[in-house]
Structure 1
Amino acid sequence: MPKPAIFWDPAGLELDSLGSNSYLRSTDGDTPYVSLSIRMLSVDTPETHYPGRSKPARSDEKLAELASWIQEGAAPIDDGLAAHLQPKLETGRAGTLHGEQGEAAHEHFERLVEEKLTKPSGRKRRVYLKSGNEPFDRYGRLLAYMAPNYTRAERDEMTPLESASFNLLMVASGWAASFIIFPSLPKHSDLCLFQEEGRKAVEDGLGAWSDPLTLTGYEFRMCVKLHTVTKELMQGKKLSKAERLRWIDRYCCDMSTRGVYSPQDYYRVPAYDRIFIWKKDVNEAVARLNLSPEV
């Protein structure tokens, strides 16, 4: 039998859920349903495991060591960001606090899901999913907003916050930091709610914001990476500029002023006003969002 005379090797995307999660059911001979892991868009909760499967508490000593290196001027970090982070790192329990907050955030999410997906009859609602501009992350997780699948009649009787996605509700609770990344922005009305509810959570000290030493999820991951880079420098390893700065690579814009900030200046933007932009997307974001650089 002759072999095909054409060659096509699609890049595709391997989904983690297809290899490890459960087959649920099928509706016909070519429509199976499988479980699918989701990374909720525009939010970031404290970690319960990082790096890898390690508990955050295992990073306590590393983060305290990083604080001392920052104090000595050995870490490749700008002075302003150093001043923002160092008090949170030098306690000796930055990882422990982060892990405790991660567990509390998980517990709150579980309660929220139980509450919002339970109908007055006791039966369970289905969920509504809306993906972003980029449907999957590098781990094969669906990037999406997830909300209870209310009926039209139910939504007509609810406020926008009452019918909001779990993404937004976690920000409103203070157990998730707003983590909006261009180009997967929520629609304008939801963006306004993310900003408003995020501001209330920060100013009222809700959830993780009750502790001034809180590191957001992205800050905790960033500091673990900065420790690795700084340790290499302390050991005498020669690193290029790109290698020295591989711990931080997202620009940040202020959704209220449209100012765009370099990666190490994100802290100058209120947490609830931040929109992050990957370096490769900066030019497109500047054009589409009419941004201007901040000095």
Structure 2
Amino acid sequence: MIDPIEIFWSPAGDSMPTLGSRELADFHDGDTPKIKMPVRMLSVDTPEVTAKTPEKAEKIDQNFLQLAAWIRDGKAPISKDLAKFLLPKLETGKAGTLQFKQGTEAAAFAEQNIRKRLRLPNDKMRKIFIRTADAPFCNSHRLLAYIAPNYTPEELATIPRKDRPTFNLDLIAAGWAAPFIIYPSIPGELDMPIFLAAAEKAVADEKKIWGDPATLLAYEYRAMEDLHTVTKKIVEKKPLRPGEEFSWRERYCVDMRSRTLHGPEDYFRVPPIYRLFLWPQDVAEAVGLLNLTPSARLARGD
């Protein structure tokens, strides 16, 4: 059984047609261009394929081994507790190749799953339902959204919510994505229990990314890439920009079960399925709106 939580949200939604093979922009109607653009699926984080090739992934293997050595030598700006948690994953010698392999397989699953669920029995394609975030675009100019097949009103009245999941949830249930909920784009109160139950089952059944204890969750992987870059500059005695030393760990973390707010390097103290992340600029607002309590370590400034 999943633990009870006290964090809920009720976002709005809308529908958009499938883009299919259309060009980047279609100006059939002068004031209504149809634009093809990337969508960052909310609340999920699949393994990264930024290495691009197996050979470059092997280079990251070596970078992470080097980072592990720097951490053990006390040269990396990371807390002892988080270092202890991450070192076994960094020292496998395959952290980069494992991430790339998992990312490639996750991408293949996502493509096949979306095509399969959008196709109707008559081979026509459903429209796509899209529910955007309160702040619709990320820093990389991607649309932030939950996406799913668009069902008719009749279907919505007869098909249970759990049997018409978003594509985001499909990734969680299949074990190809870690929960990555970032305030304020929290799943709605009806969706959250389904989301958490799917995540719990994927973890318990050790599906896909959860089946290898050496897996770095995608947000951990990105943080370690950034930490390697920062530590390399420290080791080489190159100047750092103001704040760059700790720029690799950006988000605070809330335990959704207790509303406890943890510092950026203490996220690992919360089980992965119950982590709610906050950007620093949102902490004050979230503390008030969600009635959060700082952890003892955060309150002490440890």
TM-score (norm 2): 0.86
Taking structure 1 as reference, are residues 242 and 32 closer, same or farther at Cα in structure 2, changes over 3 Å only? Answer: closer
Return the offset for 1:169: 1.3
Return the offset for 1:292: 0.5
The 5 Å alignment of 1:238-257 reads 239=240, 242-257=243-258
Aligned to 1:22: 24
SS at match of 2:180: strand
SS at match of 2:243: helix
Q: Which has the larger radius of gyration?
A: 1
The one-letter code of the counterpart of 1:199 is E
Aligned to 1:87: 88
* Paired residues of 2:257 and 2:274 also in contact (CA < 8 A): yes
* Paired residues of 2:62 and 2:93 also in contact (CA < 8 A): yes
Once residues 161 and 108 of structure 1 are traced to their aligned partners in structure 2, the CA distance between those partners, rounded to angstroms, is 20
Q: Residue by residue, what CA displacement relative to the aligned partner does 1:128-171 show, whole Å, maximum 9, x if unpaired?
A: 11110111112221111111001122233323222111111111
Aligned to 2:164: 163
The 5 Å alignment of 1:1-295 reads 22-24=24-26, 26=28, 28-50=29-51, 55-237=56-238, 239=240, 242-295=243-296
Once residues 152 and 56 of structure 2 are traced to their aligned partners in structure 1, the CA distance between those partners, rounded to angstroms, is 40
The one-letter code of the counterpart of 1:138 is N
Structure 2 residue ranges without an equivalent (≥5): 1-22, 297-302
The one-letter code of the counterpart of 2:108 is E
Q: Residue by residue, what CA displacement relative to the aligned partner does 1:8-51 show, whole Å, maximum 9, x if unpaired?
A: xxxxxxxxxxxxx612352x332121212111111110011159
Once residues 248 and 240 of structure 2 are traced to their aligned partners in structure 1, the CA distance between those partners, rounded to angstroms, is 13
SS at match of 1:39: strand
Taking structure 1 as reference, are residues 223 and 141 closer, same or farther at Cα in structure 2, changes over 3 Å only? Answer: same
TM-score (norm 1): 0.87
Taking structure 1 as reference, are residues 274 and 237 closer, same or farther at Cα in structure 2, changes over 3 Å only? Answer: same
Q: Residue by residue, what CA displacement relative to the aligned partner does 1:186-221 show, whole Å, maximum 9, x if unpaired?
A: 211212222221111111101211111111111100
Return the offset for 1:252: 0.3
Which moved further from structure 2: 68-77 or 237-246?
Answer: 237-246
Once residues 211 and 23 of structure 1 are traced to their aligned partners in structure 2, the CA distance between those partners, rounded to angstroms, is 42
Aligned to 2:14: none
SS at match of 1:161: helix
Alignment coverage as a number of residue pairs: 273
Once residues 274 and 134 of structure 1 are traced to their aligned partners in structure 2, the CA distance between those partners, rounded to angstroms, is 20
Once residues 273 and 102 of structure 2 are traced to their aligned partners in structure 1, the CA distance between those partners, rounded to angstroms, is 19
The one-letter code of the counterpart of 1:125 is R
Once residues 51 and 253 of structure 2 are traced to their aligned partners in structure 1, the CA distance between those partners, rounded to angstroms, is 23
The one-letter code of the counterpart of 2:139 is R
Higher relative contact order (CA 8 A, sep 6+): 2
* Paired residues of 2:51 and 2:100 also in contact (CA < 8 A): no
Aligned to 1:9: none
